Amino acid sequence: MKQLKYLLQKEFLQIRRDKTIFKMIIALPVIQLLILPWAATFEQHNISLGVVNNDRGTYSRRLIEKVVSSGYFKLTGYFTSYEQALKAIETDEADLLLEIPGHFEDNFVRQQQTDVMLSVNAVNGQKAGLGASYLGQIIADFNRDVILQQGIQLDLVNLINVMPYFKYNTEMNYRNFMVPGILVMLLTLIGLVLSSMNIVKEKEIGTIEQINVTPVSKFTFILAKLIPFIIIGLVLLTIGLFIARLVYGIFPVGNILLIYLFALFYLSAFLGAGLVISTYSNTQQQAMFVAVFFMIIFLLLSGLFTPVSSMPEWAQTITIFNPIRYFVEVIRLIFMKGSRLMDILPQLGAIIGFALFFNTWAIMNYKKTS
Amino acid sequence: MNSAITTENLTKQFGDFTAVDRISFEVAKGEIFGFLGANGAGKTTAMRMLCGLLSPTSGKGTVAGFDIYKQSDNIKRNIGYMSQKFSLYEDLSVAENMRLFGGIYGMNSKAIASKTDESLRELELTNDRNTRVKSLPSGIKQKVSFAVSIFHTPEIVFLDEPTGGVDPIARRKFWEMIYHAAEKGITVFVTTHYMDEAEYCNRVSIMVDGKIDALDSPEKLKNTFMASSMDEVFQSLARKAKNS
Amino acid sequence: MKRFSSFIKKEFLHIFRDIRTMMMLLAMPVILLILFGFAIRTEIMNTPFAVLDESKSASSRQIIERMSGSRYFDLQKNPDNFNEIEKSFRKGEIKLAVIIPEDFSDDLYRTGTGNIQLSADASDPNEASIVTSYVQQILMRHQQSLMKEDKIPYTIRTEVKMLYNPQLVSAYNFVPGIMGLVLMLICAMVTSISIVREKEQGTMEILLVSPVKPVFIVLSKAIPYLLIAFLDVVLILLISNNILHVPIAGNIFLILFLSTLFILSALSLGMLISSVTKTQQAAMLMSGAGLMLPTILLSGLIFPVENMPVLLQLISNIIPAKWFITAIKDVMIKGLGFFSIWQELSILLGMTFFLLVVSIKQFKNRL
């Protein structure tokens, strides 16, 4: 174990000496944490709306006013014909096209039933659906307003009233949700790059041979690689928590030490995975490809961007074997809901299992003898 | 037990290719043993088996009294190794490299400190104590590399082509260091393909195509082959190999 | 020229010898397409929820049945009290709790209005608001089925036409995004690393003392990746057309031309990175964290760009992938022609030219 001390000294010296890497380790996550949370939002407002109004009545004008003032839509302009408006959709100036026919008011007043046409740029299906349903709701509201103004008493019996309460994030701020998640992503990215390229770098340079003829045990060697990265990871986590607090005003509701505890095992788990990749690779290039390859897949299947519960069954099964998923889940639980140790025991157990599994694998696969 | 190294029919095969073919020899303690042969003759493979970097296919062997199959950890504790490829940490300084390897071999801080001073003095590098290895000229790097490999005073040191790519004057100086180490009682096992260097060894073995063709002191070999230099000895062995 | 081609041959050998890398470069787009096509849904489904039914009436049971029967919800728990709900939230087991009060049924039939409380986990505000609107829709339909009278005066019917993508297939949106991501990854990241690798190993010097101009050496490294990237484009188009059923509405040659231009811009970005970094790790960090993440996030692959703060939208303009994705959507999905995308094309062309000039200058200065 005394050997460990000397190996650790060496690893730290090497990290400190490589100025470019050292700067990047610190600067990249900070910059990204400042920028990315603003980009990661699903909130849909400012959907651009084009209007073709063939009707000259007051109802149509009131309807358009209501739509524009709802806050979901941004009026791009009025068009004289459908063809002209379609051009605006082709050039992405408008996402939605509301067309009011010439007989709108006439039908509305006389037959008490009229229609409008809605054309949606549906290349992005989700956005299209959302836009259409917003507009549908506004039109339904408008409907009700007119009915109430006309003083018609509707015999709506059995009205079920829904009273929603938005727990844990009453102001519905999407950044409260994304900042902790992005923090996990950045930790993972930096850690995986450093660890997966590390051992293979020594292979490429040839220094590993010099270590292999010494009596250093495989366990000590891997541990000496692991510990510096864990420390870097925890430092980055701390910086990230500060940024979350200072820039976004977000602070974990739960115990911050619990985050550190979980991070400790999480870091050991995926750094171990990085070292496994490193022991299998012959060149840094190869190690990096494999690392990036798995990372993209695991990130997308982690629930960071889209909820795990919405994935199909088979994909949810895959996420059981995804360490990133557990940390994303847990950091959000602690940050937003103040979950306690007892609440996150299953995830903690899983991550400890991963840590043991990957590091044992790395130790087994690191061969001192060929 | 007076042998530092013994082997008996030691063999290494890579698929169909036999890199090392049933070699048997002994190296006495304190000896400078030259392991000669052309490139690809199997020198490095044999050496890597002795150091525990490669497992043998068959045959027996001991290093420092330990079995190369079962006790490779014990062997590693008692040997030093300098590889063909320069392999110190270039981003660490001379003293930091010494400290690292001293620590790995279990020396305590005090011993490391005094030994570092001593080594730097011998290397005449006292002023370069904190110089990064990567900014040293290649001849000096090789000397530092050797100093690091015997830093923990091992019983045996294995040197794989230590003077490759170094000019003749630097090579002479390097051999002075080897003698100096041998005087301290370190057994030196050195591979080289410079035949003139063979003259510096106590005994040499000459490997051709994975087999040891000759093994004796340089003087006796020259007599046997009626040659004036080791180079001629080697030439006649090589010719014989081609004829057969 | 002969020397140049021998350099290119050398690069191809490097790539083909390394089968693992080769596989990775070709498998990456396939796996991404499958993941986005079948595993990742931006649509919220199967939301785990709990019901605390204090009413225990026929009408409350009907509502619960309707909800659990919907594909949007997945009933996890029937807790007895609020504490249990709280616990399930903290463990992350449920995302929604429906609380039906004791007097729900009585109120509904006596006063005509019954109240239901929803407690949504708004850690993810997007999910929470969508989930609550699902509940409202389900309840509305439930009400309608209970209502006898269905003729309401003054109604406006909305006729909705979904242009370009009537089925609202999500693949229409992500295929262009994935093309952008994969090409950026292969061209910028892989190329920069393979150049820096030679620098790190010292083999670059050997190449540079040869009579071939440095520019050609760098180009010879880029050409094999250009071909692989092109192969990936074809692969993506084939898979998205045949497996994900995304039609190619526009001119295929225009698509290939556009892709080639984008590949060139990404390659020159890779060269620029390799000229300013010294180690593979540094190049990797720079292209990975500096290019990959912004490309995923700012290109509209997952998150819509229109809703980002203006400053970020401005930043997203310097990302070549953004222009490529906009243009490829226009051609591939909307079926527009050359004249609709000439702006994007000229921006990409300008970027490529600029990056190329800067990186060649950098190379001359450094080597």
Would you call B148 exposed, middle or buried from its count of C-beta atoms within 10 A (0-12, 13-18, 19+)?
Answer: buried
d(CA A176, CA A249): 9
Distance CA A213, CA A203 (A): 14
State how far the Cα of A271 lies from the Cα of A230, in Å rounded to an integer. 8
Q: What is the DSSP string of C60-94?
A: HHHHHHHHHHSTTEEEEE--SSHHHHHHHHHHTS-
Contact B175, B200 (CB under 8 A): yes
The size of chain A, in residues, is 370
> What average pLDDT is seen over chain C?
81
pLDDT at B46 over 50: yes
The phi and psi torsions of B62 (rounded to 5 degrees) equal -130, 145
- Tell me: the pLDDT tens digits for C105-115? 888 877 777 88
Per-residue pLDDT band for A44 (boundaries 50, 70, 90) equals low
For residue B148 the two structure tokens come to 């690091």
Identify residue C257 by its one-letter amino acid code: F
- Cα separation of B51 and A208, whole Å? 14
CA distance B147 to chain A (A): 13
- Note whether A24 contacts B: Cβ–Cβ < 8 A: no
**Residue C135: strand, helix, or coil:** helix
Q: How far apart are the first and last CA of chain C?
A: 22
Q: How many pairs of residues across A and C have Cβ atoms under 8 Å apart?
A: 362
For residues A235 and A79, give the distance between their C-alpha atoms in angstroms, rounded to a whole number. Answer: 56
| Residues of chain C neighbouring A25 (CB-CB closer than 8 A) | 285
User: What band does C50 get if pLDDT is binned at 50, 70 and 90?
Assistant: very high
- A348: Cα separation from own chain's centroid: 21
Q: Please report, for chain A, the start and end positions of each structural domain, with discontinuous segments joined by +.
A: 2-40+173-365, 47-149
Does A7 sit within 8 Å of B92, measured CB to CB? Answer: no
Cα first-last separation, chain A: 25
Placement of tokens 């199997």 in the chain: B42
Cβ contacts of A28 on chain C, cutoff 8 Å = 285, 289-290
pLDDT tens figures, A202-233 = 888 888 888 888 888 888 888 898 999 999 99
Distance, in Å, from the CA atom of C236 to the CA atom of B62, rounded to the nearest integer, reads 59
Separation in Å, CA of C90 to nearest CA in chain A: 5
CATH number of A47-149: 3.40.1710.10
- Band of residue C240 on the pLDDT scale cut at 50, 70, 90: confident
Angstrom distance (rounded) from CA C328 to CA C336: 10
The two structure tokens encoding residue A264: 């400790």
User: Do residues B97 and A13 lie in contact, with contact meaning Cβ atoms separated by under 8 Å?
Assistant: no
Q: Is the pLDDT score of C256 beyond 80?
A: yes
| Domain boundaries, given as residue ranges, for chain B | 3-88+137-243
> Can you give the three-state secondary structure of chain A, one letter per residue?
CHHHHHHHHHHHHHHHHCHHHHHHHHHHHHHHHHHHHHHCCCCCCCEEEEEEECCCCHHHHHHHHHHHHCCCEEEEEECCCHHHHHHHHHCCCCCEEEEECCCHHHHHHHCCEEEEEEEEECCCHHHHHHHHHHHHHHHHHHHHHHHHHCCCCCCCCCEEEEEEEEECCCCCCHHHHHHHHHHHHHHHHHHHHHHHHHHHHHHHHCHHHHHHCCCCCHHHHHHHHHHHHHHHHHHHHHHHHHHHHHHHCCCCCCCHHHHHHHHHHHHHHHHHHHHHHHHHCCCHHHHHHHHHHHHHHHHHCCCCCCCHHHCCHHHHHHHCCCHHHHHHHHHHHHHHHCCCHHHHHHHHHHHHHHHHHHHHHHHHHCCCCC
Assess contact for C295 and C216: CB atoms under 8 A. no
Q: What are phi and psi of C29, to 5 degrees?
A: -65, -35
- Dihedral of the alpha carbons of C58, C62, C68, C73, in degrees to the nearest 10: -120
In eight-state DSSP terms, residue C43 is: S
Query: What's the pLDDT band for A186 if we cut at 50, 70, 90?
Result: confident
pLDDT of residue C151: 55
pLDDT given for residue C2 in this prediction: 64
CB distance from A18 to chain B under 8 Å? yes
A239-248, A303-312, A329-338, B97-106: least confidently modelled range: A303-312
Please judge whether B52 and A215 are an interchain contact, meaning their C-beta atoms are less than 8 angstroms apart: no
Q: How confident is the model at residue C258 (pLDDT cuts 50, 70, 90)?
A: very high
- Chains near C with 3+ CB pairs less than 8 A apart are A
pLDDT-derived band at A178, boundaries 50, 70, 90: confident
Please check the confidence at residue C99 and state whether its pLDDT lies above 80.
yes
Query: Using CA atoms, how far apart are residues B25 and B61, in angstroms rounded to an integer?
Result: 9
Structure tokens at A5: 């001390």
User: What pLDDT is stored for residue A157 in this prediction?
Assistant: 46
* pLDDT > 70: percent of chain C: 89
Cβ within 8 Å, pair A6-B104: yes
Question: Which value does ipTM take for this structure?
Answer: 0.78
For residue C367, pLDDT beyond 60: no
What are the backbone angles phi and psi of residue B26, rounded to the nearest 5°? -130, 145
Q: Which pLDDT tens digit goes with each residue over B90-99? A: 888 999 999 9
The domain B3-88+137-243 having CATH identifier 3.30.300.30: the answer here is: no
Pure H helices in chain B: 43-51, 72-78, 94-104, 109-123, 138-149, 168-183, 195-198, 218-224, 230-243
Please give, rounded to a whole number of angstroms, the shortest distance from the CA of A198 to a CA of chain B. Answer: 13
Q: Give the gap in angstroms from C-alpha A217 to the nearest C-alpha of chain B.
A: 9
Of A345, A8, A21, residue with least CA distance to C90: A345
> Residue C233, Cβ neighbours under 10 Å: how many?
22
Which tokens hold the place of A312? 């199909």
Q: What is the mean pLDDT of residues A336-356?
A: 91
Alpha helical stretches, state H, chain C: 2-17, 19-34, 58-69, 82-91, 104-110, 125-146, 171-184, 191-201, 203-208, 214-242, 252-276, 280-287, 293-298, 310-316, 320-332, 342-366
Provide the CB-side half-sphere exposure for C318 (13 A, CA). Answer: 10
The shortest CB-CB distance from C126 to any of A42, A118, A185 is to A42
Query: At residue B142, does pLDDT exceed 80?
Result: yes
Nearest Cβ partner for C308 among A29, A39, A189: A39
Q: Which residue, A108, A344, A176, is CA-closest to C155?
A: A108
Inform me whether the C-beta atom of residue B103 falls under 8 Å from chain A C-beta atoms: yes
3-state secondary structure of C247: coil
pLDDT above 60: residue C150: no
The most distant pair of C-alpha atoms in chain B lies apart, rounded to whole Å, by: 59
Distance CA B215, CA B204 (A): 6
Report the alpha-carbon distance of residue A94 to residue A166 in Å, rounded.
Answer: 32
Q: Which long-range contacts (CB under 8 A, 24 or more apart) does C20-23 make?
A: C20/A286, C20/A289, C20/A290, C21/A285, C21/A286, C21/A289
Please report all neighbours of B, defined by 3+ CB atom pairs within 8 A: A
Instruction: Write the pLDDT tens digit of every residue in C183-239.
Output: 887 788 888 888 888 877 777 766 666 666 767 777 777 888 888 889 899 999 999
- The answer to whether the CB atoms of A292 and C201 lie below 8 A apart is no
pLDDT beyond 50 at C98: yes
Q: Which of A35, A39, A310 sits opposite C303 (nearest CB)?
A: A39
Contact at CB, C197 and A344, closer than 8 angstroms: no
Q: Which one is predicted more confidently, A350 or B72? A: A350
In this predicted structure, the answer to whether residue A237 has a pLDDT above a threshold of 90 is: yes
Q: Output the average pLDDT for chain A.
A: 85
Residue type, C167: Q
pLDDT in tens, C213-227: 767 777 777 888 888
pLDDT computed for residue A236 by the predictor: 92
**Taking CA A206 as the corner, what is the angle to CA A201 and CA A211, rounded to the nearest 5 degrees?**
95
Chain A and chain B share a number of CB contacts under 8 A equal to 82
Q: Which has more confidence, A324 or C144?
A: A324
Question: Does A31 touch chain B if contact means CB atoms closer than 8 Å?
Answer: no
Alpha-carbon gap, residue C121 to A307, rounded angstroms: 12
Interface check for A83 against chain C (CB to CB < 8 A): the answer is: no
Assign B231 a pLDDT band (cuts: 50, 70, 90).
confident
pLDDT digits (tens, 9 = 90+) for A68-109: 888 788 888 888 888 888 888 877 788 888 888 888 888 888
Where is pLDDT greater, at C54 or B138? C54
Query: How would you classify the pairing of strands A113-121 and A96-100?
Result: antiparallel
pLDDT in tens, C278-290: 888 888 878 876 7
Q: Which domains does chain C have, with CATH numbers?
A: 16-40+170-366 (no CATH), 47-146 (3.40.1710.10)
Q: Of C16, C19, C20, which to mutate for an interface test with A (greatest number of A Cβ within 10 Å)?
A: C20
A292 touches chain B (CB under 8 A): no
Q: Does A14 touch chain B (CB under 8 A)?
A: yes
Average pLDDT on B168-186 reads 89
pLDDT recorded at residue B157: 94
